[in-house]
Amino acid sequence: MKLQTKRTVIGLLGILFLLSLVLVQAMEVVRRREEAGITTAHIAVPVTSKSCVDCHGQPTSNPGIVDHWKGSTHALKGVGCVECHLAQKEDVDGFDHYGAHIATVVTPKDCSRCHEKEFKEFDGSHHSKAGNILASLDNFLAEEVEGFRDDESGHHFFNPHSPTPGRPDITEVNGQASAMVGCLQCHGSKVALMGRDGSKITVDDLLPDEKGVPTNLDALDLIVKTEDGRPKFHPDTWPNTGIGRLNLDGSKGSCSACHSRHDFSPRRARQPENCGKCHLGPDHPQKEIYEESKHGVAFRDLKEHMNLDGESWVLGKDYTQAPTCATCHMSGHSRNDGKVTHDPGERLSWTNRPPVSLVLDTDAEGKVVMETDPKKRRELTVFSAEEKRGNMKQVCAHCHTPDYINGFYKQYDDFVVLFNEKFAKPGQAIMGELTKQELITKTQFDEEIEWTWFYLWHHEGRRARHGASMMAPDYAHWHGMYEVAERFYMELIPQAREIADHAEEHGDKDKADSVRTVINEILARPEHDWMPKKPPAELATSVDDGDNSGDDSVTTPDTSSVEDDDATPPEAEESDTTSDADSDGE
């Protein structure tokens, strides 16, 4: 090869080498970009929390707490243990712990030191009031029907009726166990310290001022403390992360109900499973409803593309693939400048919680306006249901056209109104009349009909309405209205008639008649017209016969039942079953 050729070859190879290095350069750029997402950030332990981490991070201590914290944004920004657990000298639950004055329970008040806006929103929400269930039906159920509590003294222990082999320490039965574990872990306990006389010292005894400092010093003296000066929590009330927890400093709620400690992962709070700790089950299956809906199906499929780890998580900007619970009820979106709300009620237009759904106009205190006079109602309303619905529509509009959204709301409204008018209000009227006539006691759940009614609105009625609100047809119908209808026609009405008959037998004909009047007036309405009218006695017997009541009523020759033109002809039995089978097949 000639020298000149060699020189040229060297020159060309040099350029090729340069090109290969440009390839290397490109790889480097790509790698840097990727790296930003994959390498874990190094966590610097703030000096104030170094000794906490040194001790609690040991395998023999609680490394889980420390590891969780290391994965948190708090850790990244230098917010350590003491920053949140710090207690003021006056705090009732503060104690000295290796040189720091700290408290075990971190309340929303503590969080509000940094997260003030979130605290205020949450404080105004229905969530924060979840702890005030003392007088509610559900609470009565758990505390007294399922458990035991003496109304007069508040005493809630009773003696075991035989020993538990192997556990000689079981000498008494805590009647509040079901409420503690069942109700309060979602609703929130009233956090209590142990009193020396065995009493619970709660926020009611301490009467804290605005800063959370207790004003009733007598209560302080009663508190049981461990040898190292740590106040003892009453195990009925702590541990608890219920969302409406009533804390010793007077604040309501628990941020860790949704933002699990100690990593406070936004990723987790964005996912439906997070809400599913409480919003599931027979009485409010929101989680299951969501999973059935198109929204939930899309989420499961597209979860990985939803930027769940993103620092910002604004619908329309950071993701649009599918909504989670948080997306619709709380998270920011591109039409409200990404403003997150910690009050999920800000976007709800109906409350489906009570027996009869209410329009969610709220007053200055955030309470549902019950006023019926339109003018007064308008005056009282501070935050109208229409406005709230408008807020929700803004979210919907990221994926749906206005016609579509309005169409959906029409279907939803129609459904709620149907339930209200056909079953809820009549049911309420019947139950009200029975109570008024004193044919049932004031005590709840001691008569069968009270269970029936509770099932109707609290379980089946809510399932139906929630199913309609979040596009789950099966919950709206088969788990919902179908069961509502069966409960109404086949249990509530017959049971009410039976009570009336019973009253008549005992000489209370007036009472019986007034109840019967209410029932008959209801059943005379066109929406109940499909049902053949029969004398009450006969209907009552047929119920006793068993589940074939419908067949009986048709086959029993009865002239009164065919007086209407469109009453079911005798041969309808067969055609009914056929149509039923048809609809099943669909």
Partner 1 sequence: MSQIKRWFQERLPISGLQLAELTNEPVPNHLRRWWWCLGGTPAYLFVVQIVTGILLAFYYQPSPETAYQSVRRITEEVNYGWYIRSVHKWAATLMIAAVILHQMRVYFTAAYRKPREINWMIGMCLLLITLNIGFTGYSLVFEQLSYWGATVAANICDTVPFVGVYAKQLLLGGDSYNENTVPRFYILHAAVLPVTMIGLLVIHIAILRLQGVTELQFEDEPADGPQHFDFFPDHLYTELIAGLVLMILLSVLATIFPATMGPQANPLITPEEIKPEWFFYATFRWLKLFSGTVAVLSMGFIVFTMFVWPFIDSGLRRLTGLDDISFWIGIVGVFLLVGLTTWEALDAH
Partner 2 sequence: MTEETALPDQTVDNEPRRTFLLRFPSALMAFGLVAGYGMFASFIGRFLFPSRNRQRRPQYVADLNSFKLGQSMTYHSPAGESVVLSRTGETGTVDDFIALSSVCPHLGCQVHWEGQNNRFFCPCHNGAFDPEGNPTAGPPKDANQTLPRYQLVVQNGLLYIDASTKSLVRTDSQPQALV
Identify which range of 2-10, 66-74, 78-86, 358-366 contacts partner 1 by CB under 8 A: 2-10
Asked if residue 270 lies in contact with residue 330, where contact means CB atoms within 8 angstroms, the answer is: no
Residue 537 site contact among partner 1, partner 2, none (CB < 5 to 8 Å, cut-off depends on kind): none
Residue 60 site contact among partner 2, partner 1, none (CB < 5 to 8 Å, cut-off depends on kind): none
Residue 23 site contact among partner 2, partner 1, none (CB < 5 to 8 Å, cut-off depends on kind): partner 1
Which DSSP category does 144 fall into?
I
Question: Considering beta carbons, is residue 3 or 364 the nearer one to partner 1?
Answer: 3
Query: How far apart are alpha carbons 458 and 469 in whole angstroms?
Result: 16
9 burial via Cβ count (<10 Å: 0-12, 13-18, 19+): exposed
Q: Does 305 bind partner 1 (CB under 8 A)?
A: no
**Of 544, 537, 522, whose CA–CA distance to 427 is shortest?**
522
Question: Considering beta carbons, is residue 11 or 282 the nearer one to partner 1?
Answer: 11
Q: How far is CA 99 from CA 48, 50, 95, 225, 482, in A?
A: 10, 12, 10, 18, 63
Omega before residue 262 within 30° of 0, cis? yes
Q: Does 297 bind partner 1 (CB under 8 A)?
A: no
Residue 27 site contact among partner 2, partner 1, none (CB < 5 to 8 Å, cut-off depends on kind): partner 1
Residue 499 site contact among partner 1, partner 2, none (CB < 5 to 8 Å, cut-off depends on kind): none
The phi-psi region of residue 548 (left if phi > 0; otherwise alpha if psi is between -120 and 50; otherwise beta) is alpha
Asked if residue 553 lies in contact with residue 534, where contact means CB atoms within 8 angstroms, the answer is: yes
Query: How far apart are alpha carbons 394 and 335 in whole angstroms?
Result: 7
Question: Considering beta carbons, is residue 41 or 364 the nearer one to partner 2?
Answer: 41
Residue 113 site contact among partner 2, partner 1, none (CB < 5 to 8 Å, cut-off depends on kind): partner 2
Q: Does 20 bind partner 1 (CB under 8 A)?
A: yes
- The nearest distance, CB 293 to partner 2, in angstroms, is 35
Q: What are phi and psi of 320, to 5 degrees?
A: -145, 5
Question: Considering beta carbons, is residue 96 or 116 the nearer one to partner 2?
Answer: 116
Please tell me whether residue 95 adopts helix, strand or coil conformation: strand
Given candidates 21, 29, 170, 207, which one binds partner 1 under the rule CB under 8 A?
21
- Per-residue contact flags (x/-) with partner 1 for residues 30 to 69, judged by CB under 8 A: -x---x---x------------------------------
- The nearest distance, CB 581 to partner 1, in angstroms, is 59
Question: Considering beta carbons, is residue 44 or 181 the nearer one to partner 2?
Answer: 44
Sign of the torsion formed by the C-alpha atoms of 413, 417, 418 and 419: positive
Asked if residue 208 lies in contact with residue 74, where contact means CB atoms within 8 angstroms, the answer is: no
Q: Does 28 bind partner 1 (CB under 8 A)?
A: yes
- Six-digit token string for 506: 């005992």
Asked if residue 484 lies in contact with residue 427, where contact means CB atoms within 8 angstroms, the answer is: no
Please tell me whether residue 455 adopts helix, strand or coil conformation: helix
Question: Considering beta carbons, is residue 86 or 567 the nearer one to partner 2?
Answer: 86
- The nearest distance, CB 339 to partner 2, in angstroms, is 14
- Six-digit token string for 337: 């400048």
Asked if residue 137 lies in contact with residue 454, where contact means CB atoms within 8 angstroms, the answer is: yes
Residue 45 site contact among partner 1, partner 2, none (CB < 5 to 8 Å, cut-off depends on kind): partner 2
Asked if residue 462 lies in contact with residue 352, where contact means CB atoms within 8 angstroms, the answer is: yes
- The nearest distance, CB 28 to partner 2, in angstroms, is 9
- Six-digit token string for 119: 């605290």
Residue 524 site contact among partner 1, partner 2, none (CB < 5 to 8 Å, cut-off depends on kind): none
- The nearest distance, CB 15 to partner 1, in angstroms, is 10
- Binding residues for partner 2, rule: CB under 8 A, are 2-5, 7-8, 10-18, 21-22, 24, 40-48, 50, 53, 70-71, 76-79, 83, 113-114, 116
Name the residues that contact partner 1, by CB under 8 A.
1, 3, 6-7, 9-10, 13-14, 16-17, 20-21, 23-24, 27-28, 31, 35, 39
